[in-house]
């Protein structure tokens, strides 16, 4: 009887180990409506990622961090990866990138009282530009453009309203979601965005190259993401009731 109990316990232990190995833990952050600890399913992108992994029987756990810390803790292997990031050559040296999860359109927000127009990034040189810690911006390749960074997007919009800088770059849907959730209608009514997008990019799941099972996880995720698209379910994630 004792031997049977030991064998049963051994089987249970092996099953638990297998299940734990199948789980993936990803750093996440506040970027509504795509990512947020306070939204249903943790936001649109988190919902897609969770369901894509579920196709392979993989359970996802999210750990919410400030963006800079989210990236570093994924990079050093404390967690399996992070969501969601744009492709950069430097990042690709340390992470495997998934197939695109969604496409984002980034614009410059500004006060309606500030007359703003731009054609090239050179036009931004005399303009006071805000930014968020942990983010990199395409226009920063011009060293003459100085960016005043704050900890998060909410603080940046507060500074924009206070006249601390002139423009704030953000993905368009994220910017308006942040405004609607954190500011009064009177404050939101003071802000608009320039219609010309300064960047249109795809966003990805990234998995650290420091872990040996990352490629296998990535393959499972990409298959699940394709299944969501092929089934027609993918588009339903982006429906937001008015």
* DSSP codes joined into one string, 157-203: HHHHHTTS-SEEEEEHHHHHHHHHHHS-HHHHTTEEE-SS-SEEEEE
* Pair 108, 97 in one domain: no
Q: Structural domain of residue 151, as residue ranges?
A: 103-200
Structure tokens at 214: 């990352």
CATH number at residue 160: 3.40.190.10
Cis peptide before 33 (omega within 30 of 0): yes
Asked if the model's pLDDT at residue 5 lies above 60, the reply is no
Handedness of CA 197, 110, 46, 138 (dihedral sign): positive
Computed on alpha carbons and rounded to an integer, the radius of gyration of the chain in Å comes to: 21
* Pair 29, 113 in one domain: no
Containing 230, the helix (H) or strand (E) segment is: helix 214-231
Residues 6+ apart with CB under 8 A from 169: 106, 107, 108, 109, 129, 130, 131, 137, 139, 198
CA distances from residue 201 to 60, 87, 88, 134, 183 in whole angstroms, order as listed:
25, 8, 11, 17, 27
Asked if the model's pLDDT at residue 21 lies above 50, the reply is no
pLDDT band at 136 (very low <50, low <70, confident <90, very high): confident
* Pair 212, 95 in one domain: yes
Phi/psi of residue 78, each to 5°? -65, -35
* Pair 196, 213 in one domain: no
What is residue 44's three-state secondary structure? helix
* Pair 90, 172 in one domain: no
Q: How far apart are CA 157 and CA 237, in angstroms?
A: 27
- Global confidence as pTM: 0.71
* Pair 30, 77 in one domain: yes
What is the number of structural domains in the chain?
A: 2
pLDDT on residue 242? 36
pLDDT band at 19 (very low <50, low <70, confident <90, very high): very low
Structure tokens at 144: 């003459």
Q: Are 130 and 148 in contact (CB under 8 A)?
A: yes
* Pair 220, 173 in one domain: no
* Pair 19, 83 in one domain: yes
Structure tokens at 154: 């909410």
Winning range, highest mean pLDDT, from 4-13, 18-27, 195-204, 230-239: 195-204
Mean pLDDT, residues 227-236? 95
Mean pLDDT value across the chain:
90
Mean pLDDT, residues 7-25? 54
């Amino acid at each position: 009887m004792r031997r049977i109990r030991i064998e049963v316990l051994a089987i249970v232990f092996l099953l638990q180990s297998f299940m734990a190995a199948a789980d993936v833990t990803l750093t996440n952050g506040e970027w509504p409506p795509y990512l947020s600890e306070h939204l249903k399913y943790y936001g649109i992108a988190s919902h897609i990622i969770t369901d894509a992994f579920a196709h392979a029987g993989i359970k996802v756990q999210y750990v919410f961090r400030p963006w800079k810390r989210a990236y570093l803790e994924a990079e050093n292997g404390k967690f399996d990866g992070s969501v969601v990031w744009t492709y950069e050559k430097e990042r690709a040296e340390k992470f495997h990138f998934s197939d695109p999860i969604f496409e984002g359109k980034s614009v410059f927000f500004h006060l309606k009282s500030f007359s703003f127009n731009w054609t090239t990034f050179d036009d931004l040189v005399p303009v006071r530009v805000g930014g968020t810690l942990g983010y990199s911006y395409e226009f920063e390749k011009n060293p003459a453009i100085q960016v005043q960074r704050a900890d998060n997007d909410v603080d940046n919009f507060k500074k924009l309203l206070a006249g601390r800088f002139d423009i704030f770059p953000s993905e368009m849907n994220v910017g308006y979601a942040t405004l609607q959730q954190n500011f009064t209608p009177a404050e939101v009514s003071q802000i608009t965005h320039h219609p010309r997008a300064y960047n249109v990019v795809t966003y990805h799941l990234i998995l650290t190259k420091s872990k040996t099972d990352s490629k296998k996880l990535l393959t499972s995720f990409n298959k699940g993401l394709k299944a969501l698209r092929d089934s027609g379910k993918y588009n339903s994630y982006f429906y937001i009731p008015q």
